[in-house]
Structure 1
Amino acid sequence: MAQKGSPQLMYGLNRSFILQCIREHGTISRSRISRLTGISMPTVTGIVDRLVSEDIVKETGKGESTGGRRPTLVCYNLDYGRVIGVDLGSEKVKIAVADLGGHIITLGEKSIWSWDDRSKLEKVIEGIEEVLREIPNYDPLRSALGVGVPGVVDYKSGSVSFAPLFPSWQNYPLREILETELKIPAYLDNDVYAAAWGEYSFGAAKEAKSSLFILVSRGIGSGLITDGKIYRGATGAAGEIGYTLVDRSNLHMNFGEKGCLESLCSTSAMASKAKEAVKRGESPLLKQLCNDDISALTPEIVCQAAIQNDPVASAIVEESREYLAVAIANAVSIVNPEMIVLGGDLAGLPDVEELFVEPLKALIKSHVSHFPTITLSSLTTNAVIYGAIVFALDLIQERLVGTAI
């Protein structure tokens, strides 16, 4: 094992810096790598030449001359390996395969519905195995897995300590199980943290120094990125905004019961309110749009009816966005983010800008001392997937450095 200050350690650190530089800047010359990293030109040349010989980096031609010979350009070999990103839900799982630049090659969904958590996990593993079999020339030594989990995750050990949608997962060694079954390294984290990291890496928050991602789907959660890091709190449970209370009358209720934010304005709460209204005979339009099948009422249908000025649907949307506005205004006052990104199923609703984003801005603006940029996720419903992909990319890079020391 390399000791502090040893040649092996210095080589590993320099190799890591150089790989990260190439990954971030794309096509680049050896001399520019040296300037950006502060690593001497002979060291850069030696490490880059070795990376080229290992097929991790490839030469792509000549750059522009600045007075001498035209420099040879290099770039990350995006096809050296593959990463798999997983967005784990309670009823379905999204699985993506991406190259080493994070570009999605395939993306699919698989139903994992079951009454039993073990059966759900078996279906998840089956789905990932199916995807792995379809990767041409798949090599587990050049692959990694990233997973966004709907719960509190110890990202260091990969165990799940609390997951409401998977009630039997308490201190559950999920990473160990996945690595044992799939034979590839895995990185697990909370799904909203993954979404926030995906938006920071690839999406709307890429240029923001601090951003708060708020996911509004069946549940509600948030992830804060500040100074290039995920804020996790004392026990890794920071950002559970869906469990916040918006009325003191709810203090007598138990944790997570009716009265918390997500029970009032999640997309599933919107659908539930619409179903109850139709049962009471209050909205002929909602009944018509779901073809008299109340079970088919979705938040998308609620928004369609609201755009058509249906009073019941409009009231549901208004109530939902007002509760959401209270939560966002409070969050802005507490963490002072530069940007708020709204994502999850909310981002895919019809006319979401008109029904939610613009009214939210108007509601919040007069209640905060610093008004942040408020925008929809540019990754829409795939933010978790992109975050999981970045987790896997970081894991691949660690392996590319570690195997050379």
Structure 2
Amino acid sequence: MTDNNYIIGIDLGGTNIKAGLFHEDFTAAWELSIPTEAAQGPAHVLERIRLAVSQLCVGSGVELRQIACMGMGIPGLLDPEEGLSVFSPNFPGWEQVHVVNEMKPYYDFAVYIDNDVRVNLYGEWQQGAGKGCRNLVLLTLGTGLGSGIVHDGKVLYGTTFSAGEIGHMNMYRQGRPCRCGSSGCLGRYVSAVGMVNTFKEKLQEGRTSLIQTWTKHDHEQITAKMISEAYDLGDPLAIEVMHETGELLGFGLANVINLLNPELIIIGGGMAAAGDRLLNTVRNTVNAHALKLPGSHCRIVQAELGSRAGTLGAAVYAYQKQKHPLR
């Protein structure tokens, strides 16, 4: 790549498309976000992605011929080698969408796709909290629990590009039903939605919380952020739920540590904002239950890149694919 080459990173979300144009050193030249409009179908969403690329070029003054490659993070099941998005649950009609082929008529540069969580992993590994690590795990705690794994300096993909589904680790033989078809999955409890559901269950049992005054007893208004705020105000139920969530996540991560022996576990996504309110309990549980040697050599930290992890990570991923196409 020459100095005048740029890299585009796209983070495709159900609500917004985030796009970033980056220099070769991954400093940002231009960043933006536009509504996805997912309900209008796959062809419209792909057109919205191309609009975002056009707006990046207009905003930055960079021409298409100066772009070396583009990486895209897409939710759901996909085949990154084929450039095919198989299924994405929050996008109506989105099945067997060959994203790379859909982009080829418009761009001379290479386009690469990967799962949205894995591009977050590339971002944190190369430009964020995981710099310099060869063995790490990233968890994104939001609506669900996503995860990605770097083992001996390589991102794990697996036979069907599905490696790292830590969120579907069974924690209860007969627990909350999961969209995967099983029940008791870790992600049903330690995601933002999972923690809120735990809180609601306790309210339905007759427990009380100052959050009820904030929402006028409308339980559907409760958010994970409210639980963190109530925690800071000493609300007993918020403290209990935060600790229960952290403990269960700690048991899950003890299993991960015993299995993979990482040096670092990064917690990202919306729930990462809970910070040490959540992570202190996680760390204490890991210290008590992980095998001593691997447990003592693994740090658990917050992600550093925040909402930029997806676009930056997609750019890092594309750059690496461009440099090492056989990896």
- Whether the TM-score (by the shorter chain) exceeds 0.5 is yes
Tell me how far apart the structure 1 counterparts of residues 114 and 179 of structure 2 sit (CA, whole Å): 26
Aligned to 2:287: 365
Tell me how far apart the structure 2 counterparts of residues 290 and 254 of structure 1 sit (CA, whole Å): 28
Aligned length: 320
What aligned pairs does 1:118-197 form with structure 2 within 5 A after superposition? 118=42, 119-166=44-91, 168-181=93-106, 184-197=109-122
Deviation at 1:262, TM superposition (A): 1.6
Deviation at 1:377, TM superposition (A): 1.2
What aligned pairs does 1:1-400 form with structure 2 within 5 A after superposition? 56=2, 77=3, 80-118=4-42, 119-166=44-91, 168-181=93-106, 184-250=109-175, 255-256=180-181, 259-274=184-199, 282-283=207-208, 285-290=210-215, 295-347=220-272, 349-350=273-274, 352-353=275-276, 355-369=277-291, 370-371=294-295, 372-394=298-320, 397=323
Tell me how far apart the structure 2 counterparts of residues 396 and 245 of structure 1 sit (CA, whole Å): 38
Cα 1:137/1:122, change in 2 over 3 Å? closer
Q: What secondary structure is seen at the aligned counterpart in 2 of 1:177?
A: helix
Deviation at 1:209, TM superposition (A): 1.8
Cα 1:116/1:313, change in 2 over 3 Å? farther
Cα 1:181/1:270, change in 2 over 3 Å? farther
* Structural RMSD (CA): 2.9
Tell me how far apart the structure 2 counterparts of residues 242 and 294 of structure 1 sit (CA, whole Å): 25
Q: Provide the TM-score with structure 1 as the length reference.
A: 0.71
Aligned to 1:45: none
Cα 1:367/1:287, change in 2 over 3 Å? same
Which one has more relative contact order, counting CA pairs under 8 Å at least 6 apart? 2
Tell me how far apart the structure 2 counterparts of residues 267 and 112 of structure 1 sit (CA, whole Å): 22
What one-letter code is carried by the residue in structure 1 that aligns with 2:191? S
Tell me how far apart the structure 1 counterparts of residues 304 and 232 of structure 2 sit (CA, whole Å): 23
Tell me how far apart the structure 2 counterparts of residues 203 and 82 of structure 1 sit (CA, whole Å): 20
Tell me how far apart the structure 2 counterparts of residues 216 and 288 of structure 1 sit (CA, whole Å): 27
Q: What secondary structure is seen at the aligned counterpart in 2 of 1:249?
A: coil
Deviation at 1:127, TM superposition (A): 2.8
Q: What secondary structure is seen at the aligned counterpart in 2 of 1:341?
A: strand
Q: Provide the TM-score with structure 2 as the length reference.
A: 0.86
Where do 5+ consecutive residues of structure 1 fail to align?
A: 1-18, 20-55, 57-76, 400-405
Aligned to 1:36: none
The structure 1 segments of at least 4 consecutive aligned residues displaced by more than 6 Å after TM superposition are 251-254, 276-281
What one-letter code is carried by the residue in structure 2 that aligns with 1:161? V
What one-letter code is carried by the residue in structure 2 that aligns with 1:196? L
What one-letter code is carried by the residue in structure 2 that aligns with 1:387? G
Cα 1:139/1:210, change in 2 over 3 Å? same
Q: What secondary structure is seen at the aligned counterpart in 2 of 1:132?
A: helix
Deviation at 1:278, TM superposition (A): 6.6
Whether the 8 Å CA contact 1:208–1:338 is kept in 2: the answer is yes
Deviation at 1:319, TM superposition (A): 2.6
Whether the 8 Å CA contact 1:265–1:319 is kept in 2: the answer is no
Tell me how far apart the structure 2 counterparts of residues 238 and 190 of structure 1 sit (CA, whole Å): 11
Cα 1:334/1:280, change in 2 over 3 Å? closer
Cα 1:317/1:282, change in 2 over 3 Å? same
Aligned to 1:25: none
Tell me how far apart the structure 2 counterparts of residues 189 and 395 of structure 1 sit (CA, whole Å): 11
In our comparison, the structure showing a higher alpha carbon Rg is 1
Aligned to 1:66: none
